[in-house]
Amino acid sequence: MQTLDPIESAPIVIEAVQSEPRALAALLDKLENRTAVIGIVGLGYVGLPLMLRYAYAGFHVIGFDIDDGKVDKINRGETYIEHISALSVGEIIGRGSEATTDFRRASEADALIICVPTPLNAYREPDLSFILNTVDALAPHLRPGQLVSLESTTYPGTTEEELLPRIRAQGLEVGSDVFLVFSPEREDPGNPKFKTRSIPKVVGGVTPHCQRAGIALYGAAIDRVVPVTSTRAAELTKLLENIYRAVNIGLVNEMKIIADRMGIDIHEVINAAATKPFGFTPYYPGPGLGGHCIPIDPFYLTWKARQYGLHTRFIELAGEINNDMPYWVVNKVASALNDRGRSIKHSRILVLGITYKKDVDDMRESPSVRLMELMRDRGAILSYSDPHVPVFPKMRDHHFEMESTPLTREVLEATDLVLLATNHSDVDYDFVQKHASIIVDTRGVYLTPHPNVIKS
């Protein structure tokens, strides 16, 4: 059998290029020339930074959201996310970008990037309602020549099983008329080391033409694009990243419980182990998992794995350990008070730091909120202090009518116990230790032993 050498096979490559859909060629040209209009759907902790990034890259950007308040603030040049400055928002509005609640304007965009929440329902199963409602709102306004990218974290198969048929139902052929990709978000709110531009972007397309469009879209604004062979591979990539963290945090949380029982400071142990220059990555324990990804993503994969007859024992065990940490912390609080002749009921407890991680205003899935609910249920008189959350925000599943309490000497001395739940940098912890009666430290802030500090 005769085989073709590279020279003889060259015409086949040329033919493949010539067969490129006109819609793709036009889209690629717009992206290269910065004449494409970029639509960002969902203007939260992922969508708003992405809107800024594309505007700074020279594109006209339309931000879509169902929240009138967010849209109005953006169009006035204001911000609602602490680590994003109003100056930055005002600058892109001055350049012509805008926000809207009118999803009919989706037809104006050449690329639509969907960044909406993917929570769990009451049975800890995937809730795709935000994705599906968003796609249903966009679908009637899709047109040939557009690219649709889903960034919301979800289980493998979502893009092809849920988005693809909805687009096809509009009479559009994916891969020739419109282009569909999945590219998982990788934002780390408040982390000054990594910005939207510098975090590599994984992209998987439904077809090779979709893949080309996705690479061009993200390559126009992000320093490095990492192609994978399918949307399912891209979806699983995101889950692996966060499950890796969840499992390691579960391990170190269990190690914390063991070390506590043995009278050993787990933070001292971790810091010592971290001096090993190979084979060890430090993870640190806490009062539970927080943020929109790590407490939720493992359950997206375990749910999907059951459809394949698989039981993800390792992942679920880590989830159980992490979910139980707030109960363990509250028991430490009860024990600390009991040693001083008090119970949680009627004790004045101040929760220090209520965001899910340090130095941000992000309350999504914060373990501090679960701690507050558990102590409230046991009769505690609660207050909180957090320089990043002046007023307790409205949340879907949690409700507290509170404002942040200043950390004065009088407040601390009148409090029976301070529960250090989030270790913000701009707190004077020496002052807190000097004037608080008891501190339960869940973050390893106090490395030096103090009589009134209890590690948890």
**Residue holding tokens 């050498």?**
5
Backbone CA torsion sign across 131, 227, 112, 178: negative
What is d(CA 11, CA 372) in angstroms, rounded to the nearest whole number?
68
Instruction: Please confirm, yes or no, whether 293 is among the known catalytic residues.
Output: yes
Give dist(CA 227, CA 213) in Å, integer. 11
The two tokens of residue 226 are 């990492």
Q: What would the DSSP string read from start to end of 51-71?
A: HHHHHHTT-EEEEE-S-HHHH
C-alpha distances in Å from residue 149, one per residue of 89, 114, 200: 23, 6, 16
Report the alpha-carbon distance of residue 207 to residue 180 in Å, rounded.
8
Rounded CA separation 380/357 (Å): 24
DSSP conformational letter for 37: E
**325 vs 343: CA distance, rounded Å:** 20
CA–CA gap between residue 449 and residue 451 (Å, rounded): 7
Tokens describing residue 321 = 């350990």
Taking the C-alpha atoms of residue 376 and residue 370, their distance in angstroms, rounded to an integer, is 10
**What is d(CA 100, CA 37) in angstroms, rounded to the nearest whole number?**
14
Name the active-site residue from 150, 293, 380, 432.
Answer: 293
Whole-number Å distance between alpha carbons of 339 and 294: 35
- Angle at the Cα of 32 from the Cα atoms of 97 and 20, rounded to 5 degrees: 125
DSSP 232-300: HHHHHHHHHHHHHHHHHHHHHHHHHHHHHHHT--HHHHHHHHTTSSSS-------SS--SSSTTTHHHH
Q: Which residues of 51-67 are buried (b: 16+ CB within 10 A; e: fewer)?
A: bbbbbbeebbbbbbbbe
- 30: its two tokens: 């717009």
Rounded CA separation 98/54 (Å): 12
Active-site residue numbers?
293
